[in-house]
Structure 1
Amino acid sequence: MNTYECLQDEACGDGIDVIDYTFHSDRIKGLYCDGTVAIRKDMNTAQKTCTLAEELGHHHTSVGDIIDINSVQNRKQERQARLHGYNRLIGLMGIIHAFNAGCQNKYEIADFLDVTEEYLEECISCYRDKYGVYTTVDNYIIYFIPNLVVVEMM
């Protein structure tokens, strides 16, 4: 079972319907409303995985109609849902697992984690904003600046 199928199963278990949908705007990848997630039909599996993770983040973290992006409160809720998706699909431990699996670049890390390179880049940028130059997890240091590097401490 791939990551997208696992997310679909989790959604089903939470009483959330996930449907493929043809959006009329190219800007929309997915929407969550009242227990239903609509996912853009013409995306590949990695794109659908990233979108579904964020939309499930909306289910768990958002309140009300947040479509108006001019509202600061709505932008905060959007960021929370994205962070929820990043932590679910990638997370600091995911970066470490990719390192331990021998991944040498962002393409290999994204492939290992079943996400798009764009999504991985956005996640790293978010973590860089949150943690700064580096953070430590267990006996690992994850550097975000100048590039993503994982170092195991002895």
Structure 2
Amino acid sequence: MTRYEKLLIEAEKEGIEILEINLGTNKKCGKCIDNTIIINNNLSNVEKHEILAEELGHYKTSIGNIIDQSKIKNRKQEFKARRKGYKFILEPLDLIYAFKFGCNNINEMADFFEITLRELLNIIEDFRKQYGIGKKFGKYYIRFEPNLGFSEIFDNEYIY
């Protein structure tokens, strides 16, 4: 079962109807209207996975019509929904899991998470905005700048 299919099941368990419809374009797009999420069916499952995650973020966080992105309040809601959507795809510790699974570079990680490279880079950039150049997560340290890196911490008394 793909990650997209798993996310579909998760959404349906929450009472959200997912419709894949030909929207007359090949652009990555979707829309959340009340308890219905519409996804462009002209996309790959990888792209549908990304769109579904973002639209679930809108379902959980957005209120009203936020299409007009010239309004600050709408841009804030879009940002909040996108960040929430990223969490449906992966959390920082999932990067460690992918590395331990055998992903040796960012392209392999994107394939592992069944998302595009661009989406993974966007998620990592969002982590950098949240956590700075790096952060300790449990017994691991994840570095987001200048490039993605991981360290396992064996001594909890170590201060950096």
- Partner residue, 2:53: 53
Match of 2:150, as an amino acid? V
Q: Which consecutive unaligned segments of at least 5 residues does structure 1 have?
A: none
Moved over 6 A (4+): none
What's the % identity of the aligned pairs?
A: 38
Q: TM-score, normalised by structure 1?
A: 0.94
* Deviation of the 1:23 alpha carbon: 2.0
Unaligned segments of structure 2, at least 5 residues: 155-160
The separation in 2 between residues aligned to 1:8 and 1:99, in whole angstroms, is 26
C-alpha deviation, 1:62, in angstroms: 0.7
Question: CA–CA distance in 2 between the matches of 1:132 and 1:122?
Answer: 15
Write the deviation string for residues 8-55 of structure 1: whole angstroms up to 9, x where unpaired.
111111111111122245555111111111111111111100110110
Counterpart of 1:7, as a letter, is L
Structure exhibiting the larger radius of gyration computed from Cα positions: 2
2:30 pairs with 1:33: no
Contact 2:103 2:109 in 1 (8 A): yes
Q: 1:109 to 1:28 in 2, by over 3 A?
A: closer
Contact 2:16 2:36 in 1 (8 A): yes
The residue type paired with residue 80 of structure 1 is: K
Question: Alignment length, in residue pairs?
Answer: 154
> Root-mean-square deviation (CA), in Å?
1.3
Query: Residues 1-154 of structure 1 correspond to what in structure 2 (within 5 A)?
Result: 1-24=1-24, 27=27, 29-154=29-154
